Structures are given as structure tokens and as C-alpha cells.
């Protein structure tokens, strides 16, 4: 590979690392080509990207980015899966795929720029997604108002029921 190609690749990786605060760093030894294609398609369906990286170039590209905290994990066969907004989806794809294909060693995880050891993948994958958390928060915020409205409407509703029963009896 020419020096200019390496510099261009390093610049591309630097932009990827700068723009994506969520990543999973894996060792993929033992992964067959067909399983690799399957993994890539599942990641693409989840709006995630996957890239096999050369360790020395990745270490240089990670300087000054959130990925810099994981550079000590760039040894051996290394691939990085990443996305911009949803670390839970990324972890879930890998957790589900690892159940089917036991060819991964999870080296590290980056969640919103914070590094975690690879053993935390299961814990991160079982967390509720951002949308689920927002839905729960909205429910908790609207529940007291909804309950108050039901309580305030109860006397009027009960009066209507009593008047309707009186009407039926007469």
C-alpha cells in the first residue's frame, strides 16, 4: 500500500472515529466469509457500519477522537462496528449474532464516547433503547395528569349514571 493511500485511509478513519461515538471493537478470527456477509447485512439493516482495520493506521486515526480510549485494544485481527446515535442497537446486533456464530472476541465497547470492556456487551444489549426510554418518560410525565382528569370526571360520570337509572325506573 502506498504512503498516500495509507494517509487517505487514516484521514477517512479519523473522520469516522470523530463522527461516531458508539463502537464495538472485535476480534473476528474464525469468522467465515458467508458469516461475515451475514453480519454486515444485519448491521446495515440496523443503520450501523462495520470495517476491518489495520491496527497501526487505526491507532493513528484514533488520536483526538473518542476512539482514542480504545487504542490499546487494536491488536491482532481487529474490526470495528460503529454508528452515530444508538449504542444499544449495535450491541444487540452483535449479541444476537454471537449466539449463532461463536467467532468473536469482544475487545471493547464505546458508548456515547465512554469506553467499556468487551464483557459489558450483554449488559449494554439488554438496556432499553433510547426510544423506549423516551416513551417511558412520557408515560411517567403524563400519568399524573391523566389520573387527575379521571378523578375529576368521576363525580360527573357517576351523577350521569344515577340520573340515567332514575330515568329508567320512572
Q: Where are the chain's structural domains?
A: 3-127, 128-170
Question: How far apart are alpha carbons 22 and 69 in whole angstroms?
Answer: 12
Residues 69-75, mean pLDDT to the nearest whole number? 89
Does residue 104 have a pLDDT over 80? no
Residues 37-57: pLDDT tens digits?
998 999 999 889 999 989 999
Q: What is the pLDDT at residue 157?
A: 78
Angle ∠(163,154,151) on CA atoms, nearest 5: 170
Q: The domain 3-127 belongs to what CATH superfamily?
A: Ribosomal protein L10, N-terminal RNA-binding domain (3.30.70.1730)
Instruction: Please return the burial class of 75, using the count of CB atoms within 10 Å of its CB with bins 0-12, 13-18 and 19+.
Output: exposed
Q: Which three cell numbers stand for residue 88?
A: 444499544
Residue 69 is classified by DSSP as: G
Query: In terms of Cα–Cα distance, which of 70, 68, 69, 84 is closest to 22?
Result: 84
Amino acid at each position: 500500500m502506498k504512503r498516500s493511500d495509507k494517509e487517505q485511509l487514516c484521514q477517512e478513519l479519523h473522520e469516522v472515529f470523530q463522527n461516531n461515538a458508539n463502537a464495538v471493537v472485535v476480534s473476528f478470527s474464525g469468522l467465515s466469509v458467508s458469516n461475515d456477509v451475514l453480519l454486515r447485512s444485519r448491521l446495515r439493516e440496523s443503520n450501523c457500519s462495520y470495517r476491518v482495520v489495520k491496527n497501526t493506521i487505526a491507532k493513528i486515526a484514533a488520536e483526538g477522537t473518542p476512539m482514542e480510549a480504545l487504542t490499546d485494544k487494536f491488536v491482532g485481527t481487529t474490526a470495528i462496528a460503529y454508528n452515530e446515535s444508538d449504542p444499544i442497537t449495535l450491541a444487540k446486533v452483535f449479541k444476537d449474532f454471537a449466539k449463532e456464530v461463536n467467532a468473536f472476541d469482544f475487545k471493547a465497547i464505546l458508548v456515547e464516547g465512554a469506553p467499556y470492556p468487551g464483557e459489558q456487551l450483554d449488559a449494554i444489549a439488554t438496556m432499553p433503547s433510547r426510544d423506549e426510554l423516551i416513551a417511558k418518560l412520557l408515560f411517567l410525565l403524563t400519568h399524573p395528569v391523566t389520573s387527575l382528569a379521571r378523578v375529576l370526571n368521576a363525580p360527573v360520570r357517576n351523577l350521569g349514571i344515577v340520573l340515567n337509572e332514575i330515568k329508567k325506573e320512572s
